[in-house]
Amino acid sequence: MKEVKSLPPSGGLSRAAREALDGTLGDRVSYAEAIRSQHGSSETHFAPSLPDAVVFAESTEDVIFVVRLCAAHDIKLTAFGAGTSIEGQALPVAGGISLDMSRMNRVLAVNAEDFDVTVEAGVTRVALNNHLRDQGLFFPVDPGADATIGGMASTRASGTNAVRYGTMREAVLSLRVVTADGRDIRTARRARKSAAGYDLTRLFVGAEGTLGIITEVTLRLHPIPDIIASAVCGFETLDGAARTVIEAIQLGVPLARAELLDDAQMRAVNRWSTLDYPEKTTLFLEFHGSQAAVDEQVSMVGEIAAANGGGAFAWSSQAEERTRLWKARHEAYYATLGLRPGSVGWATDVCVPIGRLADCISQTKRDLDAASVPATICGHVGDGNFHVVFALDPDAPAEWEEVEAINTRLVARALSMDGTCTGEHGIGLGKQEALVDELGEAVDVMYQIKRALDPRGMFNPGKIFKSN
């Protein structure tokens, strides 16, 4: 497993701090090894790092109490949602308290006529959509994992629907945040747009919990479309698949999802989900709208695909089939690990201007074909964003070095195309040097903000910044 940072080990909590925690929180605080271990592990390739205690917040008041206590006792504080982040964002690498938000799981207000909802940070996206379904509304951002809304806001999550509906950057209308000095602020009102001062909402979205603790989130919702039609289409070439999506966008087709899976990913998916798709570069597409609109979109994309070496569309217009199709796509990560039992997953992502995507994926594919570690590619091709997942032998250091080198080349390739080192996974522990390569002195400006809002470095130490 990968040790990315070596921060000074925590000395544990003082007796006074423990007494204050216990006195106020009772059984909402735990020091049990099993609980600490669960909050000190991640889904990907980072080494575990245990907190000294785990607090299960049940209200914003609990969060304020913990923040003030941490400030008073110089304790580090790392928020924890569902633990599904990819770059180690929730690992308490300097010990201290892991603040588990999962009990703050109430939907506070659905404003159907305003197309918005306010939730506590621990509500998960699946729970939210179950809650909303009866009202004809849905929350589109879908990173695959059943993450919490607070975690998705903090990592600026994105996913398969972003090409049509945007990412958490567009979806969040307002946040309730507890700051380092224990203030309880709301970053905006519920209006869809505002020109009232600095955009604090967008500052906390994607800050990975390093600037404050998000306790409530107001989200923009969308009407459930009349018709949802999904299709799978195999291509002769990777370039043909990517070009199909770009041309569709150029023609103004409002694709709802456009996912590209390479041949290796399709092999993994077929095996993992017991499917029998052709094992070549494949697009998973989805169309939303009225019947007439969807019919027109499908017809246009069908023609474009055929002209780019695409095969026939395999359609899923029933909800059940669609669910099966997207479940297969969402389990791509586990499908890749399934290629090699006992392996550890290293998931990386980059995002480039869409005109460069086919080229970026092709070059990456050549790099992966030459590698000794099994690896798959899948991507949100309408955004220019794609992932590589490696299935690593945890006990083969040479493999880890090899993957590190491939990842470094991947980031350099994306940057050379004026892309970003991460489209949706974030910086966390894994992309700190890449961030500096990408944005140079702008990272110093970010750090000026970090120091201004969290001068003692209490929130999520060790993340985003090399010097943090």
Q: Nearest distance from residue 30's CB to its own copies, in Å?
A: 31
Q: Nearest distance from residue 223's CB to its own copies, in Å?
A: 5
Looking at the Cβ atoms of 264 and 357, the one nearer to its own copies is 357
Question: Which has the closest alpha carbon to 159: 407, 385, 354?
Answer: 385
Looking at the Cβ atoms of 246 and 337, the one nearer to its own copies is 246
Q: Nearest distance from residue 185's CB to its own copies, in Å?
A: 4
Looking at the Cβ atoms of 214 and 339, the one nearer to its own copies is 214
Q: Nearest distance from residue 271's CB to its own copies, in Å?
A: 30
For residue 232, what are the contacts with CB-CB under 8 A and spacing of at least 6?
277, 282, 283, 284, 285, 313, 314, 316, 325
Kind and range of the H or E run holding 217: strand 213-220
Question: Which has the closest alpha carbon to 409: 446, 366, 464, 453?
Answer: 366
Looking at the Cβ atoms of 46 and 56, the one nearer to its own copies is 46
Q: How crowded is the C-beta side of 76, counted as CA atoms within 13 Å?
A: 25
Question: Which has the closest alpha carbon to 129: 142, 120, 113?
Answer: 142
Q: Nearest distance from residue 269's CB to its own copies, in Å?
A: 24
Exposure b/e, 35-61, CB count within 10 A at least 16 = b: bbebbbbbbbbbbebbbbbbbbbbebe
Q: Nearest distance from residue 18's CB to its own copies, in Å?
A: 30
Question: Which has the closest alpha carbon to 213: 74, 94, 120?
Answer: 120
Q: Nearest distance from residue 196's CB to its own copies, in Å?
A: 5
Supply φ then ψ for residue 447, to 5 degrees: -70, -30
Kind and range of the H or E run holding 98: strand 97-100
Looking at the Cβ atoms of 28 and 450, the one nearer to its own copies is 450
Looking at the Cβ atoms of 25 and 117, the one nearer to its own copies is 117
Looking at the Cβ atoms of 14 and 194, the one nearer to its own copies is 194
Supply φ then ψ for residue 402, to 5 degrees: -60, -45
- Alpha-carbon torsion (333, 210, 148, 71), positive or negative: positive
Q: Exposure of 183 by Cβ count < 10 A (0-12 exposed, 13-18 middle, 19+ buried)?
A: exposed
Question: How many residues comprise the chain?
Answer: 468
Q: Nearest distance from residue 6's CB to its own copies, in Å?
A: 22
Q: Look at the block and give the residue holding tokens 């588990």.
A: 100
Q: Nearest distance from residue 246's CB to its own copies, in Å?
A: 7
Looking at the Cβ atoms of 252 and 342, the one nearer to its own copies is 252
Supply φ then ψ for residue 378, to 5 degrees: -145, 155
Looking at the Cβ atoms of 327 and 466, the one nearer to its own copies is 466
* Secondary structure (3-state) at 341: coil
DSSP secondary structure of 124-186: BHHHHHHHHGGGTEE-----SS--BHHHHHHTT---TTHHHH--HHHHEEEEEEE-TT--EEE
Q: Nearest distance from residue 16's CB to its own copies, in Å?
A: 28
Looking at the Cβ atoms of 197 and 341, the one nearer to its own copies is 197
Looking at the Cβ atoms of 366 and 451, the one nearer to its own copies is 451
Q: Nearest distance from residue 186's CB to its own copies, in Å?
A: 6
Determine what percent of the chain falls in helix, strand and coil, rounding each to the nearest 5. 40, 20, 40
